Amino acid sequence: MTMMNIKSCISRGIFVTVLAAASLLLTGCVDQHPEGTKTTAQTETVESMLEITDPVEKQAVEVAKAKVRSMEESPKIVATSPAVADICDKLELDLVGVCSSSISTIPERYKDVTTVGTAMSPDMEIVASLKPDWILSPISLQSDLEPKYENIGVDWAFLNLRSVQGMYRSIQELGEIFDREEQAGTLVKEFRDFYEEYKKKNEGKDHPKVLILMGLPGSYIIATENSYVGSLVALAGGENVYTDTDQEFLTVNTEDMKTKEPDIILRAAHALPDQVVEMFNEDFKTNDIWKHFDAVKNGRVYDLTYENFGMSATFRYPKALEELQPILYPESDADLEKARKNSENAQTSAEKSDATLKYEKAQKSGTSEKTAGSDNTSEKE
């Protein structure tokens, strides 16, 4: 499983030669659990989840670490997504630039830090003006953002936030690079303690088949086990009906979804949750095929709380798993009622988010004068 992509401008000639054979250009990016040897999240140990064994990846970290150690001053870092900013906050890293968000709260530590725009589209003029040494972003946006970072000649790292495990691997490497190993160790221990206890909860239980819909304004896509929401379902022991793909998301028609016969349908919102929940409700009401799904017939369609189930892994994962528990493993009428109530609350929260209004206001006013605490994007990275 991919950990974190790291690029260093240090001695481009030497290290590019060393690593180009792996087509990584100083990038620590490997599949540490090939398909043939993949184990389920429920049976993996924390050690196997977090172990970083690839020599290329390790060398990339050492190169980055050496460069940071050689600097006379602390590195100037920009974090371009709320999830990345949260990680930096936990690692006690200062930032010179941070993203803005309409539905995520930027840590108090960065309230006076210059805002560089949205996660999906940072303002590169502002970023360049800050003269950062490093830019940290989620790996899901690498194809769009890497060329922009290359254009301004800055070092970068793309964090694998497609799963809780990937997040903690990224934390381990950031801790090593930026001399925050103690803070990283504390965070990893918290995950280890949590997971060792959590995985006992559903041992021996039947794994329900789950279809995950990720809503966008006006449409929706299928979230596979390679997405963050999909990884949470897998961590809880659920069986995603769409497997055998390395893609995070798929575009599939409802007829194909019907052939998968999911026990449960989960509905999550990627952006503008107020619009998305309305869209889902309308589609399930007017699209005749939905009534033929057993999950619909049995009342097992649930909306997920958008703050807990975004595009990127966050430290809210215990709350997300707690929310999934009565959905995936109801053991009583009380559990079914709890799952239903949580779904209703998720809808209400989405409707009251005012994300669309905030986004439209931000689009009119622009992002260059926004502060870190302002709300001006629908991006949940």
Q: Quote the Cα angle for 115-91-15, to 5°.
A: 85
pLDDT (0 to 100) of residue 108: 95
- Nearest CA to 314 among 33, 57, 88? 88
pLDDT (0 to 100) of residue 364: 64
- Nearest CA to 369 among 70, 123, 31, 185? 123
What is the amino acid identity at position 156? W
Numbered ranges of CATH 3.40.50.1980 in the chain: 4-197, 204-351
End-to-end CA distance of the chain: give it in Å, rounded: 19
SS3 198: helix
CA atoms within 13 A on the CB side of 101: 25
Going by DSSP bridges, is the β-strand pair 155-159/219-223 parallel, antiparallel, or unpaired?
unpaired
Domain 4-197 has CATH 3.40.109.10: no
* Single pTM value for the model: 0.83
Find all residues with CB under 8 Å of 326, minimum gap 6, and list them. 335, 336, 338, 339, 342
pLDDT (0 to 100) of residue 10: 35
pLDDT (0 to 100) of residue 120: 87
b/e string for 319-337 if b means 16 or more Cβ within 10 A?
ebbebbbbbbbbeeeeeee
Domain 204-351 has CATH 3.40.50.1980: yes
pLDDT (0 to 100) of residue 361: 66
Low-confidence ranges of the chain (pLDDT < 70): 1-5, 7-43, 102-103, 355-381
- Nearest CA to 103 among 266, 297, 307? 307
Going by DSSP bridges, is the β-strand pair 114-115/134-138 parallel, antiparallel, or unpaired?
unpaired
Task: Tell me the C-alpha distance between 314 and 169, whole Å.
Answer: 13
**Within its chain, how far is the Cα of 281 from the centroid?**
25
Task: Tell me the C-alpha distance between 2 and 4, whole Å.
Answer: 6
